[in-house]
Structure formats: structure tokens, C-alpha cells
Amino acid sequence: MRPEMLKEVPENLGTQTKPTVIDWDGDGYLDLIVTGRLHGDINHFNYYTLGACYPQSQPYCKLGSCNHKTAQCECYSGVEGSECSRCSQFHFKDLETCKACPGYNTLEGTCSRRGVCEDDADARSSSQESNKSKYQVLTSFGSGQCKCLAPFHGDGCHEGECPSGQFLQANAEVPNISDWYRNWDACMPCESGRYKIFVGNAPCELCEAGRYQQFMGQTDCLACPAGRSSQPGAAECYVCPYAGTHSSPGSATCDPCPDGFVASENHSTCVRCGHGSRPNTNRTECIRCDEGYIAVAGSHSA
């Protein structure tokens, strides 16, 4: 028996005691059983377990320290396990330490919220999935590198820009969402009514008044045809809503036809009424002047 095994045992057990070393609890480690008279008192049965901290050197409490009161290992940051022998989520083994993945526990987020870190926990999970035996995989090491969503790359997925027609969206809905990676920043297509010409992570622009875009992920907006108009950010153009109004291609508004004119059927232009006719009240058609009246071409009344 090594001296370290007796650190929690009283120095003087008396002369009428019998120590026995045995794996009493079946955990694979030897325990100390002391029976007999302790300090002349009545018969005792005392049980001493080694705990997780024995011995106080490798391979136990590998990346942590021993709490002698609880006989448990207290792991360093990023380390887990009863013996502090493996790196926890978002950490990877580097020599004799567990290092954090790029961006972990920062405002920027692990892998800039643009990728997944190949940490030791991920490596253990992958090894377990490919393991054909029924034994649990206890040790497997990740690279600590980030697997980035396209088009991002580099250490921590810092580099890369969204292509034209797309913008960088926070809390994006992507297939990669998991319990460990809930929040993602990803390139998403511009919504209808918006466009983006240049490469970059900036937001998409609204289509200007008089223009529209019905599809997503576009780099430009289209001019409204004659007889239609639109407000900023329109996905489609609307027909001039009022009688006697018209618009030219790309117009933001529909304007009334001038006196003596009526709007064409598709509101694309204004048509002058001829001699002897005038616009009706809504300026939708030319009507003959009342008996006894004449109209000069282009006049509003007769």
C-alpha cells in the first residue's frame, strides 16, 4: 500500500485494528477497510475510499486539481470528466491544455456564428457514430478549426463576403441549426422589392418608386410599364387607380390628363378629344357636345 492512500485515514488507528485493502465498492480501485478497536473504544468498521483524486499525479486529475475534502477532481476551464481527462464542448486538445474554439464565449460568437468548430466533443461524436463496436468512445481529438458556411473562410470564419443579390442576415434559418449552434449569420437572398448590386455583407436596397422586383435574390429592379406606378420597395406595379390619369414608363405616380384629353384604356397616355367632342366627367372617353354647343379641340367643356 502506498502512503498516499492513507492521507484521509487517522494517523493512529490503535493496536487492536486490522486494515484490509479490497475493492469494496467494485469501482476498480482499492479501498481501505479497518476493523477492530479504534483507540480502545468499542469495535468499529471503518471504510475509506480513494476517491477520484488518488493518486495526485498523472493520469488522475489530468487537467485539474484535487479537492481533498470531497475527494473529487476540479477541472480547469474547458475540461470535463471525473478525472478531468477530456476537453468539453467548444474546446480542443492542444498539447497538455484544452484550448477554446475561435470566438468562443465572446460577443462575436463561436466561428463568428458562420460555422461549426471541429472540437473534441464533435470528434468523439463522429467517432462514436462510425464505431461498429458497442464500446463507448472516450477519447478523440478535433482540429479546433472552423468549418465555415460558404462564402466564408479563414480562422474563425472572419473572411468572405456575400455575393450580389444576397445580404448577411443575423439569426438566419439554415439547415445547420442544432442545440449547440442555435444562432447563425448567413448570406440570404434579397427579398422581393429589394436588390443588391455589389458584393458585400451590407443590407439590400429598396426598389425606387416607379420600379419593382417580384423575385428574390436580384441585383436590379425593373421600371414599371406605362399606365402603372409603384411606391418604394414594391414587388409589383399597380394600374393607375383613378379615371383620367396616366403614367409613363418608370413613373412613381399617375398624373391627371390635361383639359381636353382622356386617358387611354391602359392609362399609358392621354388622347386629345377632336372638334365637336369633349371629355366626359371622369375623362375616360370623349363625348359629343350638347346641341347648340361646339368644342375646340383640346377643350374641357363645350
Cell 473562410 sits on residue:
153
> For residue range 153-183, what is the model confidence (pLDDT) as tens digits?
999 999 999 999 999 999 999 998 988 899 9
DSSP 247: -
Peptide bond before residue 189 is cis, with ω within 30 degrees of 0: no
Q: How confident is the model at residue 23 (pLDDT cuts 50, 70, 90)?
A: low
Measured CA to CA, the distance from residue 300 to residue 281 in angstroms comes to 9
Cβ-Cβ contacts under 8 Å for 87 (sequence gap 6 or more): 78, 79, 80, 93, 98, 119, 120, 121
- pLDDT at res. 2: 40
Buried residues in 274-302 as b, exposed as e (16+ CB within 10 A) = eeebbbeeebeebeebeeeeebeeebeeb
pLDDT digits (tens, 9 = 90+) for 119-151: 998 888 887 777 666 555 567 789 999 999 999
Q: Where are the domains of the chain?
A: 257-302
Alpha carbons 124 and 91: distance in angstroms, whole number? 12
The pLDDT tens digits for 172-219 are: 999 989 888 999 999 999 999 999 999 999 999 999 999 999 999 999
Find the mean pLDDT for residues 103-112. 94
Mean pLDDT for 2-12 is 48
At 173 the pLDDT is 92
Instruction: Say whether pLDDT at 16 is over 60.
Output: yes
Could you tell me if 103 and 112 are in contact, meaning their C-beta atoms sit under 8 angstroms apart?
Answer: yes
